[in-house]
A and B are shown apart, each in its own frame.
Chain A
Amino acid sequence: VTPQGWLQIALFTALIVAVIKPLGGYIAGIVEGQVRMPRPVAAMENGMYRLSGVNPAQEQTWAGYALALLAFNFVGILALYGLQRLQHMLPLNPQDFDAVPPDLALNTAGSFVTNTSWQSYAGETTLGYLTQMAGITVQSFLSAATGIAVAVALIRGFARPSSSTIGNFWADMTRITLYILLPVCVVATLLLIWQGVPQTLGSYVDATTLEGAHQVLARGPVASQEVIKLLSGDGGGFFNANSAHPFENPTALTGLFEPLLIFLIGAALTNTFGRVIGDQRQGWALFAAMAVLFLAGLAIVYASETAPSHTFSTLGIDHLGGNMEGKEVRFGVAQSALFADATTASSDGAVNAMHDSFMPLSGLVLMANMMLDEVIVGGPGSGLFGIVLFAIVTVFAAGLMIGRTPEYVGKKIEADEVKMAMLALLCVPAFILCMAAVACVLPAGLVGLNNAGPHGFSELLYAYTSGAATNGSAFAGLGANTPFYNLTLAAAMFAGRFLVIVPVLCIAGTLAGKRRVPVSAGTLPTHGTQFVTLLVGTIVIVGGLTFLPALALGPVAEHLVMLAGATY
């Protein structure tokens, strides 16, 4: 642990805190229709409505909103599947890549539409430019907009008194994409191009190295995909090495900028929440809970990677610079730890180091970040609605203790909301644990493992955790491009995304139908330290109780065995 390392972390945290209020206010203005756009931009929005026959003023019930969302995402999966299967017949494929196999195409389509970005393929050797741009990049935009739309619908559920509707899905998607995602992407893409990230439709370059060897340098429309990859919480890189690749993350400035993009919208939405419900302190309380969990995890990962076990000495490895296996030397330990904690705390899944090579305790934190339903900032929208689900459970538990109907930000929390919150919070762990257990006993699952013992189990557990939590990062040791993993991980991604979103929209609908209740002497304050502590406790206990046995079999066992001198 070095002062420079802590300085990087402090700078990152300060920049995120600084951007929350202005961006959160801007998003609130957009989703509430209070920001007036320049006439040409507004004309484009209206033109899209006319073209698609959408009346943005016609609001939907929660079920209508959910069905529109499902239909839209279903069409997105079909489109991305088709692009991959037909790419050998389509233009903008200068490397003449063949069609993507059906199981891999299904996995990839599901992965990007669900905002997961699990990649069982290497981008630069599998996908043509058209598939990357019109498929992967477009779905990164749309999946992020979908998550934000769900969060916005939930916020409206809290903010509206006695309403039967929660907004118009099509209008929300249009406004979020046009006014939030696209402007940030245009500016940030130009910044990345300035820093040296390629943006070209030219074919790969044949180069001769200084040693005289022949090398093919892959390139393409990287910068435009890179920004939305980070901003959207999708995380799927143009290159297999993701943000460890110098063409995706070339300089120290991009090294700081990229994790900022990962957290940008997820953090700002806490402020949007507070603004729309009329009490910004509520948003800051949610952000404080996120920050506590994020910084606690980061401290463990950074300390663990900086001071690896004495086992390293016995293996003859110089460990004075920390555990550098699987890390880019340009980034070092601090920036790798920061990126790894940020990418698993959010639902992004981009990586600048190989998580498989992290110390066991670091691996535990990275998995736990995802297992906690990605409420630590999380993906755009999914982080906010995830932590609000936990907030509902928290006020319910507190209500039980004091014998009073719980309330949260002006709405009574009753049986319907608690049922739906528990459904949303339990389906993800159920999928992770059941599918990891199945993969442990089937030969088709075991054949993908590159490591034995607890580390091999961690690879399995990490894969299904990453899939069901819609993260997409990987313990790189698992060979996942097999029909078994492609199909089971696709099922985990669908479940982790839509089995959560539907109950969240249902909660939005039931809350919208209720009157707002005024604060009284019996109201549990949900904007102070006491509530933040309760909320963090609930998140840790629910996550810990659910996953502790599985974590004990994986990273905990590996850590203990490593202390005894054995490695995997």
Chain B
Amino acid sequence: MRRFTIEDDDVFDALMLAALVASFAAAVGYVHACRRLVRPPSAGNRTP
């Protein structure tokens, strides 16, 4: 076990975490986009 030190990789860590957060936000947006792509139950897309 070694001591923790601040290194250049910290900048990359921040970039990677930002990319992950952006990916998660995009995925949530994708769920909502799919929800809009299908008609809601009230729109009559149900088998009579």
Contacts and interface: CB of A to CB of B under 8 A. Distances in A.
A319 interface: no
Contacts of B41: 164, 513
Contact of A499 (B9, B30, B37, B45): B30
A412 interface: yes
A102 B34 contact: no
Q: From DSSP, what is the main secondary structure of chain A's interface residues?
A: helix
A103 B31 contact: no
Contacts of A101: 9, 12
A494 interface: yes
A78 interface: yes
A102 B38 contact: no
B34 A106 contact: no
B35 A99 contact: no
Interface in A12-47: none
Interface residues of A, number: 46
Contact of A502 (B13, B23, B34, B46): B34
Given A88-B1, A420-B38, A498 B20 contact: no
Nearest to B7: A99
Interface string A497-514: 011001100100110011
A70 B24 contact: yes
Nearest to B1: A89
Contact of A506 (B3, B9, B24, B35): B35
Interface string B31-45: 110110111010001
Contacts of A90: 1
Contacts of A77: 20
A70 B21 CA distance: 12
B12 to A, nearest CB: 4
- B3, B12, B27 — which one has the most chain A CB atoms within 10 A of its CB? B27
B19 A420 contact: no
Given A74-B20, A81-B20, A106-B16, A515 B4 contact: no
Contacts, number: 90
Interface residues of B: mostly helix, strand, loop or mixed? Answer: helix
Contacts of A494: 23, 27
A514 B1 contact: no
B34 to A, nearest CB: 5
A291 to B, nearest CB: 32
A89 B4 contact: yes
A91 interface: yes
B20 A103 contact: no
A502 B27 contact: yes
Among B16, B39, B41: residue with most chain A CB under 10 A: B16
B10 to A, nearest CB: 9
B1 A419 contact: no
Contacts of B39: 416
B47 A510 contact: no
A48 interface: no
Contacts of B35: 63, 506
A34 to B, nearest CB: 27
A414 interface: yes
Contact of B16 (A105, A412, A414, A416): A105
A102 B20 contact: no
Given A91-B1, A513-B46, A502 B37 contact: no
Contacts of B31: 63, 66-67, 70, 502
Given A74-B24, A494-B23, A502-B31, A419 B16 contact: no
Contacts of B24: 70-71, 74
B6 interface: no
Contacts of A93: 1
Contacts of A70: 24, 27-28, 31
Contact of B20 (A88, A106, A416): A106
A560 interface: no
Interface in A475-516: 487, 494, 498-499, 502-503, 506, 509-510, 513-515
Interface of A: 63, 66-67, 70-71, 74, 77-78, 81, 85-86, 88-91, 93, 96, 99, 101-103, 105-106, 162, 164, 411-412, 414-416, 419-420, 423, 487, 494, 498-499, 502-503, 506, 509-510, 513-515, 517
Given A85-B13, A502-B30, 10 more contacts: A63-B31, A63-B32, A78-B17, A106-B16, A164-B41, A412-B47, A414-B45, A506-B34, A510-B45, A514-B46
Interface of B: 1-4, 9, 12-13, 15-17, 19-20, 23-24, 27-28, 30-32, 34-35, 37-39, 41, 45-47
6 contacts: A88-B2, A89-B4, A102-B9, A102-B13, A506-B37, A506-B38
